[in-house]
Amino acid sequence: MAFEKVTVIPVKSSGTIREMPSGVELDLRFSKSLSQSPFRRFILGLSQFYSENNINESKQLFKKPEKTIYAWYKLMNTIYYANLLDKYLRDVLIPEQEKPVVLYSYWGSFHTVSFMKLKKANLNVITSCRLHGSDLFEYAASGKYFPFRPDDLMAVDKITTVSQSGLDYLKNTYRIEFANASVHQLGVPDQSNRNPDPVKGNQYQFVSCSNLVEVKRVHLIIEALRILHLMNVNFKWTHFGDGPLMNKLKKLAARELPEKKVDFRGQTSNREVMEFYHHIPVNLFINTSRSEGIPVSIMEAFSMGIPSIAPSVGGVPEIIKHMLNGYLLNAKPKPAEIADAILTVVKNSNYSSMRINAYQTWKNNYRAETNFQAFAEMLAGLT
C-alpha cells in the first residue's frame, strides 16, 4: 500500500457496510452528524454566514447573471457542511494522527471549501480532490454555481481531473494556470471473461446505466427506440438505475414501446450489472447524457468488450473513438440520429473489431489496477 493507514469518511452511511481491506478503516462519525433537513441546513448555514469570506462570496453570487434561488440555498448549505467537516477534521481526525495528514476528496464540493479553511489556518495537512463532471462544469452543476470557486481549488495542494477536457475547462473558465492540477483517469476492475458475442440474427440487446435525472436525457433513448420499433427492428432494452424520473420514463416507455422490449431494473448493484454482462450478449451500450466527465459505465461496458454510443460532451471523445470502439454522437442528438447511430454500429461489417477495440481501450487506458496504483503513488508523493 502507498499509505500505512487509510481512513474512509463517507457522507452517507446507510445500507450494508462493505468489508474493508487491511489497513483501511471506516469512520462513520462525520456522516452521523449530517441528519438535518434541507431547511434546517439552510438556517444553520445562514446563522454561520457572517464572516468576511462568506460575505465576499455572496457579493460574487450577486454579480452572476444566471443566479437562482437554489444557488443561494447551495451557498448556505455549503457553508454549513464545510464548517461541520472543518470542525470534525480539526477536533477528531487530525489530532489522532502523528504524521501530516493527506486529505483526499473524491468530489469537488463542500469538501474543498473545508480544505481551504484548513489551509488558511496553516494546519499540517496536505489536501487533494478529484473533479469529474457535475462538480467541475458550472453549466452542469445544480444551480449552475459552485460556492467559493475558484478560491477553494487554488488552495488545494493537488487537483486531479478525470479527463483532459475537464482540465482544459478548468484553466480556460477561470483563466488560471492551475499548476496544481493534472489528469488522472478513473478505471474499472478486470473481469473474469468478456461479454458473450451476440449471435447474428438474434434479438439485439441494448443496455444503458445511469441515474434517472434530467441531465442523463434517458427519454431520448426511448424516443430513438420507438423509431427502431416502427422499423420492425427486433431488440430488447435494459436500463440499470433509478431516480426521480423513473415513473415518468416508465410511462413514456409504456406509451411508445411494447412492454416486452423494455426492462427497467431500477437501482442495481455493480455486481449484478457485471453478472448481467457476463451472461447476456449485449450488442450496444447507450449513453445520451447532456454532461459527463468520462462515464465509468462506458468503462465497464468496454471492459466486457461492448461498444458504446454517446454524445460528444465532456471527456466522452477521449474514450469513444468514432467507428472504432463505438459511435460519437453530436452534443445535442435528435432521436432519429440516435436510432441511426444504433443501426450503424450493430449492422456494421466491422462490428467484431469494434468489440475488440472497446476491450483494448479499457485495457490500455481504464484498467483500475494500473490507474489506481499510479494515483495512490501520486498522493503518497505529496508528503
What is the pLDDT at residue 21? Answer: 85
Among 85-89, 155-159, 335-339, where is mean pLDDT lowest?
85-89
Measured distance CA(373)–CA(268) in Å, rounded: 27
Q: For residue 308, what are the β-bridge partners?
A: 285, 326
Measured distance CA(158)–CA(23) in Å, rounded: 23
Among candidates 324, 319, 238, which has minimal Cα distance to 279?
238
Among 136-150, 243-257, 275-289, 311-325, where is mean pLDDT lowest?
136-150
- Give span(s): CATH 3.40.50.2000, the chain: 204-365
What is the pLDDT at residue 31? Answer: 85
Instruction: Provide mean pLDDT across the span 324-336.
Output: 98
pLDDT tens track for 78-125 = 999 999 999 899 888 887 777 788 999 999 999 999 999 998 888 889
CATH class of 6-187+368-380: alpha beta
Instruction: Provide mean pLDDT across the span 239-268.
Output: 96
- The answer to whether residues 308 and 287 touch, using CB atoms and an 8 Å cutoff, is yes
Could you give phi then psi for residue 230, rounded to 5 degrees?
-65, -20
Instruction: Provide mean pLDDT across the span 263-276.
Output: 95
The alpha carbon of 344 is separated from its chain's Cα centroid by a whole number of angstroms, namely: 28
Model confidence at 17: pLDDT above 90 = no
Burial level of 265, CB count in 10 A (0-12/13-18/19+)? middle
What is the pLDDT at residue 69? Answer: 84
What is the pLDDT at residue 288? Answer: 98
Question: Any idea which architecture 204-365 has in CATH?
Answer: 3-Layer(aba) Sandwich (3.40)
Percent of the chain with pLDDT over 70: 99
- The answer to whether residues 198 and 311 touch, using CB atoms and an 8 Å cutoff, is no
Model confidence at 1: pLDDT above 80 = no
- For residue 11, what pLDDT band results from cuts at 50, 70 and 90? confident
Measured distance CA(277)–CA(99) in Å, rounded: 44
- The answer to whether residues 331 and 153 touch, using CB atoms and an 8 Å cutoff, is no
Measured distance CA(328)–CA(73) in Å, rounded: 37
For 150-169, give the DSSP string.
THHHHHSSEEEESSHHHHHH
What is the pLDDT at residue 131? Answer: 96
Model confidence at 14: pLDDT above 80 = no
pLDDT tens track for 26-84 = 988 888 877 778 777 788 778 888 888 888 989 988 888 777 788 888 999 999 999 99
- The answer to whether residues 127 and 156 touch, using CB atoms and an 8 Å cutoff, is yes
Q: For residue 382, what are the β-bridge partners?
A: none
Model confidence at 261: pLDDT above 90 = yes
Virtual CA dihedral for 90, 92, 93, 95, nearest 10 degrees? 70
Helix (H) or strand (E) holding 209: strand 204-209
- Where do the DSSP E strands lie in 267-371? 284-286, 308-311, 326-329
DSSP β-ladder status, 181-183 and 204-209: unpaired
Burial level of 26, CB count in 10 A (0-12/13-18/19+)? middle
Positive or negative CA dihedral for 295, 300, 303, 306? negative
